[in-house]
Structure 1
């Protein structure tokens, strides 16, 4: 938390030209954040225009309100308007409900990667890379 949400890291993420960063409001309260990176390609997938959903974090109390589904639907529409064909993301393997959520929305498994953060336990390092053609 201290590294990912440090003032320095947030300012660094906000300064990336091809990225958009949003805070998510629900009932007039900030309940999460959402970051997308345009033109970031998932290796060995295709040459089509791709956008990476870099981060979607929602407070657990918001689950079941359709916020995640609405955010991904919004991203699909925005990506289509810009001519993108693929949305992809890294989903934590330690959170199978998240992977199932993406699967229900049409995302498919592509590969996996491991987070490089040294303070993480090995069991939470593995991330499934999933994508959806839009």
Structure 2
């Protein structure tokens, strides 16, 4: 298994994984060809040094997992850096084999390399299994998150 920076050619596999659950199927549009909005978003992420979109390949080179790691500079914590993990997915055929843990270990080590003092994530309340997984990795529900869709 190899973790690497995502390329434009990985987009189809990434969007397929994002769309392949109850919540993702309601908000993503996995079709051929992919909507142009995904390519534009990828290009912005790829060009920004504060965002790292990665994939994990299996032994045959097939993309079987992904996550995005973003670095947020802020003033608190004496100008600290916060690492945010988003859009974690493992292909349904590969779940339960330790790939998610491997991706998280990579992300946590990368956050340390970049000088982050905390790694954070959010998880939808409709995903209790994901929450248990994150807790097993040492994440704690220390804050109450809020959002407002625009």
State the secondary structure of the residue aligned to 1:108.
coil
Bigger Cα displacement from structure 2, 58-67 vs 48-57: 48-57
Does residue 62 (structure 1) correspond to residue 77 (structure 2)? The answer is no
Count of paired positions: 113
TM-score by structure 2 length?
0.64
Identify the residue that residue 82 of structure 2 maps to in structure 1. Answer: 50
Contact 1:53–1:89, Cα closer than 8 Å, also in 2 = yes
In structure 1, distance between residues paired with 2:108 and 2:132: 18
Q: CA RMSD in A?
A: 2.4
Pairing partner for 2:110 from 78, 81, 95: 78
Structure 1 residues 53 and 5, CA gap change in structure 2 (3 angstroms)? farther
Equivalent position of 2:128 in the other structure: 96
Structure 2 spans left out of the alignment, 5+ residues: 1-27, 30-34
Q: 1:51 to 1:57 in 2, by over 3 A?
A: same
Alignment-derived partner of residue 21 in structure 1: 53
Structure 1 counterpart of 2:68, from 35, 44, 63: 35
Following superposition, which runs of at least 4 residues in structure 1 exceed 3 angstroms of deviation?
A: none
Contact 2:56–2:103 (CA under 8 A) maintained in structure 1: no
Q: TM-score, normalised by structure 1?
A: 0.71
Provide structure 1 residue ranges, at least 5 long, that are not aligned to the other structure. Answer: 118-134
State the structure with more CA Rg. 2
Q: Deviations over 1:91-117 (max 9, x none)?
A: 121111001100111111122234627
